[in-house]
Amino acid sequence: MENILTSIGFSDPEVLWALIKTILRILLILSVAGILMKLSSKLIMTLKLHLKERASDDIEEMKRIDTVGRVFRYIATIVVVIIAIVEVLHELGISIAPILAAAGVVGVAVGFGAQSLIKDYFNGFFLLLENQIRQGDVVDAGGKAGLVEEVTLRYIKMRDYSGNVHFVPNGTITTVTNMSRGFANAVIDVGVAYRENIDEVIQVMKNVGEQLRNDQEFKFKILDTMEMAGVEQLDNSSVVIRCRFKVLPLEQWGVKRQYLKLIKAAFDQQGIEIPYPHLTIYPGQYKDGSVAFKA
């Protein structure tokens, strides 16, 4: 046994004992780090549950709690890991000061090449601080739109209607359009033929709006009576009439689809025409006044 220890440089029992103590201290540091990560995760989860109980009637606040809790858990893990690495290096006899000095120099050099990454983290911090985006929101940000599945300090993960997943760096986000805050409006444009009586069409649209609001499936999604805006546009082949419903967040698309389905049936029953696009062609005349083309 002594020969084996001598061959690997541990003939001195004190050196061997010092090595064992170092290994034990490193294992202790790693164990404490693991316990701290689990403890911090549990504390954050407990705090989340407590805050959710207080905000049980506020769905928007519960979404914010989930998002902020996830970010805090991410930050706590990074802090614990960094401290554990520093302590392990200290136990191995590696001085931290030269490493920090070198890291400062490298950091300056890397900083010039990683400005976009730093911008991502800064933007992500303010997006969370100002409560602009939360998990579960439907947003348009960074040129992409979809359901927010994850919010971090560096990026936003969104899934669009087709199922495509978009990772949008926070640094590219200059404007956020959030379609799921407080309430939404289902804005509906309906085109009818020029020959139709507009007042009669508007009355049919109002009746259908009331029918939809009394529907068992939609009456809890619609927050107010239908608002009739009136004639929105005189299009090439139709008169466009606009109305809207005030609805719960994320229900605007379902309400719009159901209204269009009902209005189509009502127009068919009343004989109101939803016209196809058509075009009147003027063939022109010759200089003597004769028609250039006859059908």
Show pLDDT as tens, one digit a residue, over the chain (295 residues): 455 545 555 555 666 667 777 788 888 888 888 888 888 888 878 877 777 777 666 666 676 677 777 777 777 888 888 888 877 877 777 766 666 666 665 666 555 556 677 788 788 888 877 788 888 889 998 889 999 988 888 889 999 989 999 999 988 888 888 888 888 999 999 999 999 999 999 999 999 999 999 999 998 999 999 999 999 999 888 999 999 999 998 899 999 999 999 999 999 999 999 888 777 677 777 767 666 555 5
Listed in order, the ranges of the chain carrying CATH 2.30.30.60 are 127-178
Token digits of residue 40: 């911090």
d(CA 167, CA 146): 11
* Residue keyed to tokens 């601080």: 129
CA 167: distance to chain centroid?
10
- Fold of the domain spanning 127-178: SH3 type barrels. (2.30.30)
Q: How much is the pTM?
A: 0.61
Q: What share of the chain is helix, strand, coil (3-state, %, to 5)?
A: 50, 20, 30
179, 138 contact by CB (below 8 A): yes
- Go through 213-249 and write b for each residue having 16 or more CB atoms within 10 A of its CB, e for each that does not: beeeebeebbeeebeeeeeeeeeeebbebbbbbbbbb
- The per-residue pLDDT for 264 is 95
Token digits of residue 180: 């799921």
Q: Give the H or E element holding residue 20.
A: helix 13-54
Report, at the CATH architecture level, how domain 184-270 is classified.
Answer: 2-Layer Sandwich (3.30)
62, 69 contact by CB (below 8 A): no
Listed in order, the ranges of the chain carrying CATH 3.30.70.100 are 184-270
- The per-residue pLDDT for 91 is 75
d(CA 70, CA 128): 11
